[in-house]
A and B are shown apart, each in its own frame.
Chain A
Amino acid sequence: MSYRSVNELKVGCVMVVLEEPIKGVIELKNYIDGEWVESEASETRDVVNPATLKTIAKVPVGHREDVKAAVDAAKDAFPRWRRTTPLSRARYLMTLKQLLEENFEELGRVVTMEHGKIIDEARGEVRRGIENVEMATGIPSLMMGYNAEDISRGIDEVLIKQPLGVFACVAPFNFPFMVSLWFMPYAVATGNTYVIKPSPWTPLSTMKLVELIDEAGFPPGVINLVNGEVEPVSEILENPGVKGVSFVGSTKIGRDVIYRNATSHGKRVQAQCSAKNFLVVTPDADVELTVSSLMSSFFGNTGQRCLAGANLVFVGDDQGFMEKTLAVIKERAGAIKIGYGLEEGVQMGPLQAEHRKKRVLGYIESGLEEGATLTMDGREFSCDPYPETCFLGPSIFEGVSLDMTIAREEIFGPVMSVLTAEDLNEAIGMVNSSSYGNAASIFTTNGGTARRFQYDVECGNIGVNIGTAAPMAFFPFSGMKDSFFGDLHGQGKDAVDFFTENKVVIQRWP
């Protein structure tokens, strides 16, 4: 599928609605040992396009036996795959990368259909997923160990990085295509085999990914896909054949279910969890740059990302600066076009499902009850001609204090809470008072202020004049405190270390 098909390229037509790549209702299967197979579970749930409310797929709820079969296949494939040279493994990934490029546009549109995010954001997600495949193709270098000659006379010591076996990931709904690629390419590049469990809400782009994995010719069992809900996850956590688990989702599930259960079964875990991100603005900030970044950070992806801005903190007593900046923010937020993400001019899509919208509405009610002032009410919006069920406009609360629920808990929707701090010290203290430590940003033209912020703030991903501090594939997606459980993060060298065991050899030859 090209960027725009011929039919879509109509000269003079500005509001282009891109063609939907999914026609009808797809019955999803699992991909185990190189074959597409039915789940052991007979029950299915509907996958619904949140913008149109049309059912686009039926996904099995999943069964423990599905995971057992996938893990068995991955275990069987492991000995041969680890003996496949790193360069050959990288070439499989290069083939996959080529196929992903060829299917780039279709993948982006599938993400929009299952999730609701706008097409620019969906394409951005696909690009960031591909970047991890590219990064993992460097594994012949990335996996090198190190050595020291003559640690004693005639004795050398060598560190070798080796794969461990079968790894699995439990992926979230909000970046359905990208997140499994934070982990899987590194796992298989280092010689492990893999099981992907996508979100049952958004399983279609992962299915497309696995179709391309199959086309790329990976040997059977190296990469497997199991759909489902709770049961497959329980089996992943408990199956002794699984050496490690990667997870992205809420802190409640990540800490209390994934981390605790997986570690109690002796597995490695990297659980990237919830967030409450503060964006701090000083009076010397560039207003235009700042407001553009804030729009994307707070309202991009309809607020459904762990790097989304949540609390906006104005520093200092320059009331005029704050009022001026807020006026621009409100003007821009009020003009956001809401609708179906496949319509090119749309800037904000729906929440991914109706219950997610209800959750956000609950937080808006909570903000009102606790005394914050709702200066932009996202409950009043137009998404014509699409059904309102999952849509919500941008909301802005002013007069927010740190003790309010909306300032402390992750809302995961397009809601901005505005707070004030007397000085930078207080602002940093506010950031650090949060139980979460995923991301924080500062907007300033003062280098000293920026350095002080990045030095003192207890968060894993820091933005300086960047609203969404999303690390590239060659850096770890960091996170601290209640935003991360484990030792090694996804992406970058952290991922290589997570998927390998360091073996030290001390050798003396007589």
Chain B
Amino acid sequence: MALVLRTTSQIIGHHAELEEKSAEGYGALAERHPEHRDAFNRLADENHRHMARVERAYRLGVTDAFEVGFTPNQLDPGDYALEEFTGESLSEDLDTALRNEETVIRFCLDAAKTSGKLLPDLPDTFDQLVRRKRKRVELLRSLT
């Protein structure tokens, strides 16, 4: 059976993994490109804040009265894999970072759609994150 995200807990957990991996990536970029260290470190910090934001929305809204254990649309985590930073230049690394941001945005959009019938506060939180992540995309583009 293919691995899919069936429960709210899994969706939140996978989001946390994406944010954590993204933060690790930006941490590495901060070392490799010291001229943009502050920007990359700020992005990594934001990843952790985004993770905490979703977890808080989940914790404050979770109830067994809704369908927390039965997602209507099961998500495939393989659709949201983040790329490693293997570029040899800042430009290549930024391209990877932009693709990764778009992947996380896509996950947040899909998670918002799926969690709409699970927990009332989660879709709004994921939608807010999408808006914030689009600003990150703008920031990354400005570094090129």
Whether B64 lies near A121 (C-beta < 8 A) is yes
Q: Nearest-CB distance from A263 to chain B (Å)?
A: 31
**In the complex, B128 has a CB within 8 A of chain A:** no
Q: C-beta contact mask, B69-83 vs A, less than 8 Å → 1, else 0?
A: 110100001000100
Q: How many A-B residue pairs lie within 8 Å, measured between CB atoms?
A: 111
Q: Nearest-CB distance from B91 to chain A (Å)?
A: 25
| Residue from B3, B10, B16, B64 whose CB has the most chain A CB atoms within 10 Å | B64
**In the complex, B6 has a CB within 8 A of chain A:** yes
Instruction: Decide: A120 near B65, CB < 8 A? Known: A296-B70, A300-B70.
Output: no
In the bound complex, what is the Cα–Cα distance between A291 and B67 (angstroms)? Answer: 10
Instruction: Decide: A344 near B10, CB < 8 A? Known: A9-B20, A332-B70.
Output: yes
Whether B60 lies near A344 (C-beta < 8 A) is no
Residue in contact with A16 in the complex, picked from B13, B20, B21, B81, CB distance below 8 Å: B13
**In the complex, B17 has a CB within 8 A of chain A:** yes
In the bound complex, what is the Cα–Cα distance between A11 and B13 (angstroms)? Answer: 10
**In the complex, B117 has a CB within 8 A of chain A:** yes
Whether A344 lies near B13 (C-beta < 8 A) is yes
Whether B10 lies near A292 (C-beta < 8 A) is no
**In the complex, B8 has a CB within 8 A of chain A:** yes
Q: C-beta contact mask, B31-72 vs A, less than 8 Å → 1, else 0?
A: 000000000000000000000000100111111111111101
Residue in contact with B68 in the complex, picked from A3, A296, A469, CB distance below 8 Å: A296
Residue of B nearest to A307 (CB): B65
Residue of A nearest to B77 (CB): A14
Q: Nearest-CB distance from B6 to chain A (Å)?
A: 5
Q: C-beta contact mask, A305-339 vs B, less than 8 Å → 1, else 0?
A: 00100000000000000000000000010001100
Residue of A nearest to B12 (CB): A3
Residue in contact with A337 in the complex, picked from B6, B14, B16, B65, CB distance below 8 Å: B6
Q: Nearest-CB distance from A308 to chain B (Å)?
A: 11
Whether B55 lies near A125 (C-beta < 8 A) is no
Q: Nearest-CB distance from B73 to chain A (Å)?
A: 9
Q: Nearest-CB distance from B22 to chain A (Å)?
A: 10
Instruction: Decide: A295 near B70, CB < 8 A? Known: A125-B64, A128-B64.
Output: yes
In the bound complex, what is the Cα–Cα distance between A120 and B6 (angstroms)? Answer: 11
In the bound complex, what is the Cα–Cα distance between A125 and B14 (angstroms)? Answer: 22
**In the complex, B140 has a CB within 8 A of chain A:** no
Q: Which residues of A contact B81 (CB under 8 A)?
A: 12
**In the complex, B5 has a CB within 8 A of chain A:** yes
In the bound complex, what is the Cα–Cα distance between A3 and B54 (angstroms)? Answer: 11
Whether B62 lies near A300 (C-beta < 8 A) is no
Q: Nearest-CB distance from A13 to chain B (Å)?
A: 8
In the bound complex, what is the Cα–Cα distance between A345 and B14 (angstroms)? Answer: 11
In the bound complex, what is the Cα–Cα distance between A409 and B69 (angstroms)? Answer: 26
Q: Nearest-CB distance from B63 to chain A (Å)?
A: 4
In the bound complex, what is the Cα–Cα distance between A293 and B67 (angstroms)? Answer: 6
**In the complex, A438 has a CB within 8 A of chain B:** no
**In the complex, A124 has a CB within 8 A of chain B:** yes
Q: Which residues of A contact B59 (CB under 8 A)?
A: 3, 104, 123, 127
Q: Which residues of A contact B14 (CB under 8 A)?
A: 14
Top 9 closest A-B pairs, CB basis?
A124-B64, A470-B65, A120-B68, A295-B70, A296-B67, A121-B64, A14-B3, A124-B63, A11-B21
